[in-house]
């Protein structure tokens, strides 16, 4: 019995020694991996203090903290334009009279320096009429990390769809279609650059509007320069709930089609005037993308479209909204391989817009024909080419979706 006890105790002690040694080895490996990944990330990140970084970003002006503090009236709460995931944006006026938007990055944000550098490097490389312009920034030695953009004075698309500016009803279907066209063109431009740029946070709150409702796509904190010779980049999914590509979220593979999915959500927001996520909706409709695809698939587009757009009464609106819904349905496909490219999306939207403009010229003749048909029916006559009232009143569902 004693010998058995001795053997048991000996085996138990050997087991403990082995386990402790194994744990130390694993701990060492984890620490090594963490150190390597951290140093790699640091070495790959541009050095904000280096002259070469600013030379590459040649269009960037360096502002002092004091200059921007004065421009924003001490970062007054009354100058706040809004806040995003990485900072608060303030309205300001520079000493030369230029109106600007100043982003003040959150101090507690874990990767604020990375976002700061990312926006500087990307926005300094691009120039497009529908992309917000970066005027400059502070240095890393400054009291705070600040980015200075052109000021766009008419809020964001989501403001006008269902936010603080929605009550004025300014966003007609014609304006919404133009917003879709110009946003698509801006994203297509980014995707065609060498190397391409993936925005990675396409949403209505990142689409700014000026007083003439011209589009300015903003917020490049999450954007990525995409290698030209690869099909995807493996990275942890980032973005805004309701807009994130589900295949990217599941497989951790970022491609240009991830932007296409997010833009599909923007399209259904423009059609419906509903937010991308609303927990007050039924469970299967909390996510607008799911709600939209189900309604389009079930031939119920008329229940989904914003009633103020004239969808039930205007045949031309009906026809173009149906075409945009068809395009949105394609963009929201789960399989990224079957989604169109951003360039194809932009071209399709331009064609829809051109058809609307052409139809508007013929609209008076169409309305006259409609009135004459109604008059003849009232007199008990029928037109040689009668216009079917049901065709005018019933929603047009894209044939490829039904």
| All residues at 6 or more sequence positions from 1 whose CB lies less than 8 Å from its CB, including other chains | none
Q: Does one domain contain both 200 and 218?
A: yes
Query: How far is C-alpha 102 from the geometric centre of its chain's CA atoms?
Result: 20
Which of 150, 177, 207 represents a domain boundary (last residue)? Answer: 150
Task: Note the pLDDT tens digit of each residue in 139-159.
Answer: 877 888 999 999 999 999 999
Tell me the HSE value of 206 on the side-chain side, using a 13 A CA sphere.
27
Task: Note the pLDDT tens digit of each residue in 45-78.
Answer: 445 555 555 555 566 899 999 999 999 999 999 9
Range of the structural domain that residue 299 is part of:
157-359
What's 318's DSSP letter?
A: H
For residue 102, give the nearest of 61, 163, 55 by alpha carbon: 61
Distance CA 309, CA 209 (A): 20
Task: Note the pLDDT tens digit of each residue in 343-390.
Answer: 999 999 999 999 999 988 876 665 665 566 555 555 554 433 433 444
Positive or negative torsion for Cα 296, 300, 301, 303: negative
| All residues at 6 or more sequence positions from 288 whose CB lies less than 8 Å from its CB, including other chains | 242, 265, 268, 269, 272, 274, 275, 276, 277, 278
Q: Does one domain contain both 92 and 175?
A: no
Q: Does one domain contain both 162 and 123?
A: no
Distance CA 152, CA 129 (A): 12
Taking 70 as the threshold, does the pLDDT of residue 26 lie above it? no
pLDDT at 141: 76
Q: Does one domain contain both 143 and 209?
A: no
- Detail the residues annotated as belonging to a binding site for ATP: 103
Which pTM value belongs to this model? Answer: 0.77
Question: In this structure, what CATH number is given to the domain that contains residue 320?
Answer: 1.10.510.10
Report the length, in residues, of the chain. 402
Tell me the HSE value of 178 on the side-chain side, using a 13 A CA sphere.
13
Q: Does one domain contain both 226 and 344?
A: yes
% of the chain with per-residue pLDDT over 70: 71
Q: Does one domain contain both 163 and 296?
A: yes
Active site residues: 201
Q: Does one domain contain both 186 and 291?
A: yes
Number of domains in the chain: 2
Q: Does one domain contain both 320 and 202?
A: yes
Which uninterrupted H or E stretch holds 148? Answer: strand 146-150
The reply to whether 70 falls in a domain is yes
Q: Does one domain contain both 115 and 176?
A: no
């Amino acid at each position: 019995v004693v010998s058995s006890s001795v053997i048991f105790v000996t085996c138990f002690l050997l087991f403990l020694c082995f386990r402790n040694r194994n744990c130390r080895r694993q701990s060492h490996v984890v620490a090594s991996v963490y150190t390597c990944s951290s140093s790699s990330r640091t070495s790959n990140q541009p050095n904000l203090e280096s002259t070469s970084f600013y030379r590459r970003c040649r269009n960037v002006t360096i502002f002092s903290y004091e200059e921007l503090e004065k421009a924003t009236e001490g970062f007054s709460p009354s100058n706040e334009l809004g806040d995003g995931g990485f900072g608060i944006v303030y309205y300001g006026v520079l000493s030369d009279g230029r109106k600007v938007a100043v982003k003040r990055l959150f101090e507690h944000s874990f990767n604020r320096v990375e976002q700061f550098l990312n926006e500087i490097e990307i926005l300094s490389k691009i120039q497009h009429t529908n992309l917000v312009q970066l005027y400059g920034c502070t240095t890393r030695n400054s009291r705070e990390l600040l980015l200075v953009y052109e000021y766009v004075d008419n809020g964001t698309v989501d403001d006008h769809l269902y936010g603080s500016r929605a009550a004025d009803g300014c966003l007609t279907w014609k304006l919404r279609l133009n917003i879709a066209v110009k946003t698509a063109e801006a994203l297509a431009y980014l995707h065609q650059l060498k190397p391409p740029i993936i925005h990675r946070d396409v949403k209505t709150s990142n689409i700014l509007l000026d007083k003439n409702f011209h589009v300015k796509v903003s917020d490049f904190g999450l954007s990525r320069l995409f290698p030209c010779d690869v099909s995807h980049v493996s990275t942890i999914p980032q973005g805004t709930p309701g807009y994130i590509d589900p295949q990217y979220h599941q497989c951790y593979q970022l491609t240009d089609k991830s932007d296409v999915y997010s833009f599909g959500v923007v399209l259904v927001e423009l059609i419906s005037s509903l937010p991308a996520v609303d927990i007050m909706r039924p469970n299967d409709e909390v996510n607008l993308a799911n709600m939209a695809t189900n309604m389009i698939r079930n031939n119920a587009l008329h229940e989904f479209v914003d009633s103020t757009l004239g969808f039930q009464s205007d045949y031309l609106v009906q026809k173009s909204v149906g075409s945009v819904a068809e395009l949105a349905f394609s963009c929201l496909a789960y399989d990224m391989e079957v989604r169109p490219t951003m360039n194809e999306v932009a071209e399709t939207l331009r064609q829809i817009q051109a058809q609307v403009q052409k139809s508007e010229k013929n609209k008076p003749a169409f309305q006259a024909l409609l009135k004459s048909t109604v008059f003849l029916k009232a007199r008990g006559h029928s037109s040689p080419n009668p216009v079917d009232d049901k065709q005018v009143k019933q929603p047009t569902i894209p044939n490829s979706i039904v």
